[in-house]
Structure 1
Amino acid sequence: MTRTEYNNSVDNFSDDVYRFIFKACRNKELAEDIVQDSYLTLWEHVRDITYEKAKAFLFTTSYRKMIDIFRKEKKNGDIENICTGQYTYEEETPDLQQILEKALDRLSPVQKTVVLLRDYEDYSYKEIAEITNLTESQVKVYIFRARNFMKEFIRTPDLVI
């Protein structure tokens, strides 16, 4: 990859990678750090990666960095400081976007990741499998179960409000 292609990848993909990581962790500073670290890793491998594969590389790298941080923080018992968005309380009646965000927060990390990649970032099942190191059938099962959970969550007014 040339320097120009690298700069184009920053311009074209950084917002998508940030949005994906931010939706997964709900922490602006953490998402920014992960995106920056992912681009640093891309720069370190700039000779080995083509521009066509840069976006998938960035998503894979950022996802793995996020999971590593979650595992480390969970092991240290400090996960509350990473996922601060889960513990906020809102007094007003939530709109559909807020309800979907709450449903996403209740999914397992793997389910949340595959749903975000499929429904928000429009990745194919095959691409999601490559990013998450799952098989295509596992990806489909996780997405199916996550969507069913989200449908039931939205239908249950007691849990939503």
Structure 2
Amino acid sequence: MDEKRHNKLEDIYRKYAEGLYYYLLGLSGSPTLAEELVQETFYRATVSLSLFKHQEVKPWLFKIARNTYIDEWRKRQRWKWVPFFEKEEMISPYGIPETEVVKKENKQELENLLDMLPENYRTILYFREYEDFTYQEIQEAMELTESQVKVTLFRARKRLTELAENMKGESEYDRMDKG
């Protein structure tokens, strides 16, 4: 591999590795597995560089990452061994403790709700809300048409809202039951 190509790959890695890590962490729930999947994603991207048709790099890499995650999930399903959720506590050394606790609780509630969604809903919400993908980028990354992107995104948001309302209703009912 010539030095120019090597430097370009290195630049791509530096630019996108962190975003891919957080995406894969969100899917897998495991920091260790997310790191492994990022490495596998870049390995597969390097191997399939000849198939790269000069489209946008970001959706192409996220598409590879998603497929890498799905392959890993299927492999683990086959062996009936799925320790995907090693949720670690993250405590901020800064800020007001009460505010940090509320933020952490809200984030945890959102993560719990997202975990209840099918993978394609979680992925499309992550791409749009966290990675600020355009519809075109989502279309490329998930191999959907523009209308499928819009419909799936609408349904994912609607389902997330329904789950949140159901959780809120249950917690209010629990408080009334205890009172």
Whole-Å separation in 2 of the counterparts to 1:61 and 1:140:
22
Deviation at 1:16, TM superposition (A): 0.7
Residue matched to 2:32 = 29
Report sequence identity in percent.
26
Q: Which stretch of structure 1 is more off in the superposition, 55-64 or 149-158?
A: 149-158
CA RMSD between the two structures: 2.7
Matches within 5 A, 1:30-69: 30-46=33-49, 49=52, 53-69=56-72
Residue matched to 1:82 = 84
Task: Provide the aligned length of Structure 1 versus Structure 2.
Answer: 155
4+ runs of 1 displaced by more than 3 Å? 45-53
Q: Is residue 164 of structure 2 the alignment partner of residue 154 of structure 1?
A: yes
TM-score, length basis structure 1: 0.81
TM-score, length basis structure 2: 0.74
Give 5+ residue unaligned stretches, structure 2. 90-100, 175-179
Give 5+ residue unaligned stretches, structure 1. none
* Greater relative CO, 1 or 2 (CA 8 Å, sep 6+): 1
Deviation at 1:48, TM superposition (A): 5.7
1:4-51 alpha-carbon deviations (Å, 9 max, x no partner)? 221111111100111111111111111111110111122334466488
Residue matched to 1:120 = 130
1:41-80 alpha-carbon deviations (Å, 9 max, x no partner)? 223344664887332222111110101111222233223x
Q: Is residue 18 of structure 2 the alignment partner of residue 8 of structure 1?
A: no
Question: What amino acid maps onto 1:82 in structure 2?
Answer: F
